[in-house]
């Protein structure tokens, strides 16, 4: 890398090839004082350095460059034959949260390389610009599941009601479980009445991680109409789903859930027992006390600690009603 007309850049290029990572790290620091347009390629090279400290220093230096100066080189680097360079460029793009970079990013969506498309969409997601919407909608039907997942994320971050039909359709029918899970998670910005049916449908998805996402969404949106479905989910074949169902029932705070939480307290998975006890504390009804007493004798100290908290919550609720 000796073909730089600028003496400083020539020196930096030479030092970035040095066997000593300490010398390479100092060379990265010197990039801050270099002509920006020419220094970008060297910075990208440093982002894929074999030494973690050098890569971290390069990531910090990015902030000293104008995003518009970085954008073209980073997008070009996405097509590099070197996997480390590609990944470094993708991560750098995701960190450049500057709306001035949006036109260049959208222009880059004209290619059909899944890695490039996914990287660009991930960067656009952070910017939350409406101009990305039509491109994300188009890419919902892309053959690559990673591209579809990132397109879903773009639409979710925009939080626009007009995107709900497409997101609900993807949540119900996409062939890839991770895309369905991402779509389910993206629905939580909506009014519960708009997406309750889609979230409940997610409880019967064949993939347990999708079911987990659906239970989380129902609890976050406080979907009262889903209480029976969440109670059924406390008997799911996967304890992770049971755990999130218990948490959701606690958030909703319905006394209907108390009996269902009893079976969770018998589960050998302590995380599930903790979720059940926490839910009892959030419901804070006198009828919870029998189950809380059971949890007070649990063999896990964290469960017992939560049980004491839950007991205090119930007693405080009873006291407040008596005033």
pTM exceeds 0.85: no
Residue 259 placed within a domain: yes
Helix axis angle, 164-173 relative to 145-158, nearest 10°?
A: 150
Q: State mean pLDDT over 116-130.
A: 92
- For position 313, what pLDDT does the model report? 97
- For position 153, what pLDDT does the model report? 97
- For position 154, what pLDDT does the model report? 97
Average pLDDT of the residues of the chain? 91
**pLDDT 10s digits, 97-117:** 778 888 888 988 988 899 999
% of residues, the chain, pLDDT over 70: 97
Which long-range contacts link 173-178 to residues 24+ away (Cβ below 8 Å)? 174/145, 174/148, 175/145, 176/145, 176/148, 176/149, 177/205, 177/206, 177/207, 177/209, 177/210, 178/145, 178/149, 178/209
CA nearest neighbour of 273 among 251, 302, 235: 302
Does 70 score more than 80 pLDDT?
Answer: no
Does 210 score more than 90 pLDDT?
Answer: yes
- For position 278, what pLDDT does the model report? 98
Residue 261 placed within a domain: yes
Distances (CA, A) of 114 to 73, 77, 170: 18, 14, 19
Choice between 97 and 146, residue whose per-residue pLDDT is larger:
146
CATH of the domain at 314: 1.25.10.10
Domain range for 279:
253-323
- For position 60, what pLDDT does the model report? 78
CA nearest neighbour of 314 among 281, 292, 291: 281
Choice between 51 and 208, residue whose per-residue pLDDT is larger:
208
- For position 23, what pLDDT does the model report? 95
Unique residue bearing structure tokens 């999130």 = 244
Choice between 87 and 180, residue whose per-residue pLDDT is larger:
180
Does 85 score more than 80 pLDDT?
Answer: no
- For position 1, what pLDDT does the model report? 44
Choice between 55 and 69, residue whose per-residue pLDDT is larger:
55
pLDDT band for 208, please (50, 70, 90 cuts): very high
**pLDDT 10s digits, 295-305:** 999 999 999 99
**pLDDT 10s digits, 222-271:** 999 999 999 999 999 999 999 999 999 999 999 999 999 999 999 999 99
- For position 290, what pLDDT does the model report? 96
Residue 275 placed within a domain: yes
Question: Which H helix or E strand runs over 297?
Answer: none
CA nearest neighbour of 27 among 6, 5, 40, 43: 43
Among the residue ranges 50-54, 55-59, 133-137, 172-176, the one predicted with the least confidence is 55-59
Number of domains in the chain: 1
Residue 143 placed within a domain: no
- For position 2, what pLDDT does the model report? 52
Residue 276 placed within a domain: yes
**pLDDT 10s digits, 36-47:** 667 888 888 888
């Amino acid at each position: 890398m000796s073909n730089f007309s600028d003496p400083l850049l020539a020196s930096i290029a030479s030092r970035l090839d040095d066997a000593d990572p300490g010398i390479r790290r100092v060379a990265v620091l010197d990039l801050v004082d270099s002509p920006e347009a020419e220094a970008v390629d060297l910075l990208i090279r440093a982002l894929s350095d074999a030494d973690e400290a050098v890569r971290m220093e390069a990531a910090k230096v990015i902030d000293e460059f104008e995003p518009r100066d970085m954008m073209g080189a980073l997008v070009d680097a996405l097509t590099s034959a070197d996997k480390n360079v590609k990944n470094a460029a993708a991560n750098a793009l995701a960190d450049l949260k500057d709306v001035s970079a949006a036109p260049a990013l959208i222009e880059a969506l004209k290619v059909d390389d899944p890695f490039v498309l996914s990287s660009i969409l991930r960067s656009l997601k952070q910017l939350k610009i409406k101009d990305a919407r039509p491109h994300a909608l188009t890419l919902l039907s892309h053959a690559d599941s990673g591209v579809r997942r990132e397109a879903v994320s773009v639409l979710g971050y925009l939080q626009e009601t007009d995107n709900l039909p497409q997101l609900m359709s993807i949540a119900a029918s996409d062939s890839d479980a991770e895309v369905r899970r991402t779509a389910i998670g993206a629905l939580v910005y909506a009014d519960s009445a708009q997406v309750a049916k889609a979230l409940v449908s997610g409880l019967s998805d064949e993939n347990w991680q999708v079911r987990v996402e659906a239970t989380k969404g129902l609890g976050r949106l406080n979907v009262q109409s889903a209480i029976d479905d969440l109670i059924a989910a406390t008997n799911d074949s996967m304890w992770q789903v049971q755990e999130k169902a218990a948490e959701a029932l606690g958030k909703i705070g319905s006394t209907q859930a108390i009996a269902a939480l009893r079976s969770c307290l018998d589960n050998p998975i302590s995380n599930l027992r903790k979720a059940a006890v926490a839910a009892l504390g959030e419901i804070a009804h006198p009828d919870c006390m029998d189950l809380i007493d059971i949890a007070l004798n649990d063999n896990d100290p964290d469960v017992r600690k939560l049980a004491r908290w839950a007991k205090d919550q119930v007693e405080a609720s009873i006291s407040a009603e008596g005033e």
